[in-house]
Amino acid sequence: MDHNINITVRVWRQKGPREKGRFETYSLKEVSQSASFLEMLDLLNEQLVAEGKEPVVYDHDCREGICGMCSLYINGHPHGPDDSITTCQLHMRRFNDGDTITIEPWRSAGFPIIRDLMVDRSAYDKIIQAGGFVSVNTGGVPDANAIAIPKAKADEAMDAAACIGCGACAAACKNGSAMLFLSAKVSQLALLPQGRPEAARRAKAMIAKMDELGFGNCTNTRACEMECPKNISISHIARLNREFIKAKCKD
């Protein structure tokens, strides 16, 4: 049975990307354990506004675990203590009366802080723009059912496509690597015949863009896989490496 709890939250406050940040501590009373984590932040902001203080800036949109925008580091874990969920799917029943909850933004060179808990995640969009697509002749597109794709390959491509680009993988990685995200986007195309004509260019272009944007290298610690809200496997990183090596051999 859910109850109301009193909690303390330590929230990272930072006015801008060039400003020095700091933790500020706030007390919240009578928070329903049925509330979502983002609803708790809404209550905090209502309290701050009532006190004449600046509300905490944080990113969110769908609140359904689909868009990946609710990118918060909670008590040392991207998206909080639960497995296989985003922050917006986390509920206050995971916390106890009297708990102190530490909330931070993503910590990665590829995601500069905009303000407070909001970071600039447009680097992932730039990686996609570098090669995460297929080119088609729209004048004569064949019926999708006419292209034979083994079910195992189709299922694996769909598993890779489940990536929502939230950035938890890079935030969890000690090197700030975006390899899990990048490899998922490569796999969802490389496994399908529609993605093969541009496979070599795609792997090289997306990796080059990732390096350019300041993300680190993968050292296979698997922190990305453990913290991914969509359970993306690091086996996709192995496929990305194979795609990249094949592309370089062709060169």
At residue 106, the pLDDT reads 96
Q: How confident is the model at residue 164 (pLDDT cuts 50, 70, 90)?
A: very high
Q: ∠ at Cα 125 (168, 180), nearest 5°? A: 40
pLDDT at 152 over 70: yes
pLDDT at 143 over 80: no
C-alpha 82/C-alpha 93 separation (Å) is 11
Same domain, 83 and 22: yes
Enter the pTM of the model.
0.91
The answer to whether the CB of 123 falls within 8 A of the CB of 215 is yes
pLDDT at 141 over 90: no
Same domain, 129 and 240: yes
Same domain, 25 and 85: yes
Mean per-residue pLDDT over the chain, rounded: 94
Q: Between β-strands 100-104 and 73-74, what pairing exists: parallel, antiparallel or unpaired?
A: antiparallel
C-alpha 47/C-alpha 43 separation (Å) is 6
At residue 107, the pLDDT reads 92
Q: How confident is the model at residue 1 (pLDDT cuts 50, 70, 90)?
A: low
CATH at residue 241:
1.10.1060.10
Q: Domain boundary residue among 81, 114, 147?
A: 114
The answer to whether the CB of 111 falls within 8 A of the CB of 97 is no
Same domain, 136 and 245: yes
Same domain, 127 and 240: yes
Across the range 57-86, mean pLDDT stands at 95
Rounded to 5 degrees, what are φ and ψ at 73?
A: -95, 115
Q: What is the pLDDT of residues 194-226, one digit of tens each?
A: 899 999 999 999 999 999 999 999 999 999 999
Query: In sequence order, what DSSP letters do the residues of 115-154 get, joined into one string?
Result: ETTEE--HHHHHHHHHH-S----TTSPPPGGGS---HHHH
Same domain, 103 and 185: no
Q: ∠ at Cα 127 (123, 131), nearest 5°? A: 165
Same domain, 205 and 161: yes
Domain count, the chain: 2
What is the percent of the chain with per-residue pLDDT over 90, rounded to a whole number?
Answer: 89
Q: Domain boundary residue among 76, 91, 114?
A: 114
DSSP lists the bridge partners of residue 32 as 4
Q: Domain boundary residue among 88, 114, 140?
A: 114
Note down the domain range covering 45: 4-114
Same domain, 147 and 106: no
The answer to whether the CB of 184 falls within 8 A of the CB of 232 is yes
CB neighbour list of residue 181: distance below 8 Å, 6 or more residues apart = 124, 127, 163, 165, 167, 169, 170
Q: What is the pLDDT of residues 9-63, one digit of tens each?
A: 999 999 999 999 999 999 999 999 999 999 999 999 999 999 999 999 999 999 9
Same domain, 72 and 155: no
CATH at residue 23:
3.10.20.30
Same domain, 109 and 214: no
Same domain, 102 and 170: no
C-alpha pair distances (Å), 22 with each of 13, 15, 25, 126, 140: 5, 10, 10, 30, 57
Same domain, 146 and 245: yes
At residue 171, the pLDDT reads 95
Cβ-in-10-Å burial (0-12, 13-18, 19+) of 215 comes to: buried
CB neighbour list of residue 26: distance below 8 Å, 6 or more residues apart = 8, 9, 11, 44, 47, 48
